[in-house]
């Protein structure tokens, strides 16, 4: 089934509650970029309130303190939303809270991925907001927030899926070499799948990042209403020219505590880096992202051509100066905003096919795909040709303009809310 997008011009401004599992600011990194930009665009067309749970470690990694981060988010988001509240996550407040929750979740029916957000205070506040504010729709920004859905609600509800969580966890289990970790990830995947089967149909509509994820969620429940709202890029700040430097540079950007990113950089170290240096002796590898693993830090300490920069506020020069973006991501779900970001900067991308999953990029035109170490080296060597490098870069940027501009994506999301609001009866009783 497909969600009914509203096809009329304009339409009345709806009142929407956006419930988030994080403070959706600043727009740095995949999940924050999607949440912030969809919220920003939606607020152009509707009146939006935001209730956010605070992942302290995430917010604090971008600001001198968590309090400074909340203040900055309040000031910035307040420019385009109506109401903003932040609630702490009890698991995050306790020492070893996440570890204890992961352990105790082994003895519960619901998985850790759901349990870690539990908050009775947040549950009461969300229920009160919904009961007293006469919303036209409520947006839940991840499946983990399903526990905050009231048993009866007078407006339609939308669930956003940055990934299909059970699928992503199963994929992680299949790749894990450690027996105990593999067992944990597999049972977490199974319980996530059971949770999804029980709770997904309680929502009026679902939005996913790609056609691949739409197929995956419909495999879980074929009766769901699912629309594709892809990841995108806010195009305004991007430069129109590049200035590759010598010696040539390869680039990878991403938070390195996120396991698909860490796995990708470890793959570069273990399988690609020595091969690349044999082919191009003076080449440099630049890794930009917070929380590098000891292995990544040690590699940089031992090799002056392998450079780790940590978190960088302005990454535009890294894109401008690089020869190519190297992305051997072989895990995770959704679509990779880092790929869209590189394409928007006209930087050619050499990637594993899974890294481009859900992106309508053609191999050899918009990106260069590789699955083996030899193929990665071959594609990097091709991009030393300035004409081909520029051609691939321009093609990638055109793809972003045509398909992945957040302004157009946000309008589609606005129309989706119009569609479900027009079709919704006065009281929604949750499906069993």
Whole-angstrom Cα distance, residue 151 to residue 170?
30
Peptide bond into 155 cis (omega under 30): no
Query: How deeply is 408 buried, as exposed, middle or buried, from its count of CB atoms within 10 A (0-12, 13-18, 19+)?
Result: middle
> What is the total residue count of the chain?
432
What does the pLDDT read at residue 89? 95
Average pLDDT per run of 10 along the chain, which is 432 residues long? 42 92 90 93 96 93 93 96 96 86 89 94 96 95 96 92 93 90 94 96 95 95 95 73 92 90 96 98 96 96 96 89 95 77 94 91 97 98 97 95 91 93 51 35
Express each pLDDT in 145-164 by its tens digit: 999 999 888 899 999 999 99
DSSP per-residue codes, 85-139 = EEEE-HHHHSTTHHHHHHHHGGGSSS-HHHHTT--HHHHHHHHHHHHHH--SEEE
Query: How much is the pTM?
Result: 0.83
- Look at strands 306-308 and 226-228 and give their pairing: unpaired
Burial 140-159 (b: 16+ CB within 10 A, else e): bbbbbbbbbbeeebbbbbbb
């Amino acid at each position: 089934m497909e969600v009914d997008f509203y096809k009329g011009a304009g339409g009345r401004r709806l009142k929407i509650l956006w419930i988030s599992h994080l403070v959706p600011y600043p727009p740095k990194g995949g999940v924050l970029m999607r949440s912030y930009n969809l919220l920003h665009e939606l607020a152009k067309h509707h009146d939006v309130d935001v209730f956010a749970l605070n992942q302290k470690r995430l917010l604090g990694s971008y600001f001198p303190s968590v309090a400074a981060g909340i203040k900055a988010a309040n000031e910035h988001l307040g420019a385009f939303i109506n109401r903003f509240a932040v609630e702490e996550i009890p698991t995050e407040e306790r020492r070893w809270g996440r570890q204890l929750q992961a352990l105790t979740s082994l003895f519960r029916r619901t998985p850790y991925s759901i349990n870690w957000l539990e908050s009775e205070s947040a549950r009461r506040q969300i229920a009160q907001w919904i009961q007293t504010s006469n919303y036209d729709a409520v947006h839940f920004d991840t499946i983990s927030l399903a526990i905050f859905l009231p048993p009866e609600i007078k407006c339609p509800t939308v669930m956003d899926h940055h990934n299909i969580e059970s699928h992503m966890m199963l994929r992680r289990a299949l790749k894990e070499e450690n027996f105990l970790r593999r067992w944990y990830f597999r049972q977490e995947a199974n319980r996530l799948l059971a949770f999804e089967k029980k709770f997904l149909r309680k929502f009026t509509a679902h939005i996913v990042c790609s056609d691949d994820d739409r197929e995956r969620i419909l495999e879980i429940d074929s009766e769901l209403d699912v629309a594709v709202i892809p990841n995108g890029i806010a195009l305004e700040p991007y430069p129109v020219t590049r200035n590759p430097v010598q010696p040539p540079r390869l680039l990878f950007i991403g938070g390195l505590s996120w396991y698909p990113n860490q796995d990708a950089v470890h793959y570069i170290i273990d399988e690609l880096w020595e091969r690349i240096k044999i082919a191009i002796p003076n080449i440099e590898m630049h890794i930009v992202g917070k929380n590098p693993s000891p292995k990544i830090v040690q590699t940089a300490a031992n090799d002056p051509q392998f450079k780790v920069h940590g978190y960088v506020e302005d990454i535009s020069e890294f894109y401008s100066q690089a020869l190519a973006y190297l992305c051997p991501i072989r895990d995770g779900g959704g679509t990779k905003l880092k790929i869209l970001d590189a394409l928007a900067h006209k930087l050619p991308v050499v990637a594993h096919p899974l890294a481009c999953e859900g992106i309508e990029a053609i191999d050899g035109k918009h990106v260069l795909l590789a699955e083996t170490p030899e193929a990665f080296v071959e594609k990097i060597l091709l991009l030393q040709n300035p004409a081909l490098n520029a051609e691939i870069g321009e093609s990638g940027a055109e793809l972003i303009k045509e398909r992945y501009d957040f302004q157009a994506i946000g309008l589609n999301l606005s129309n989706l809310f119009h569609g479900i609001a027009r079709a919704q009866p006065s009281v929604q009783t949750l499906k069993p």
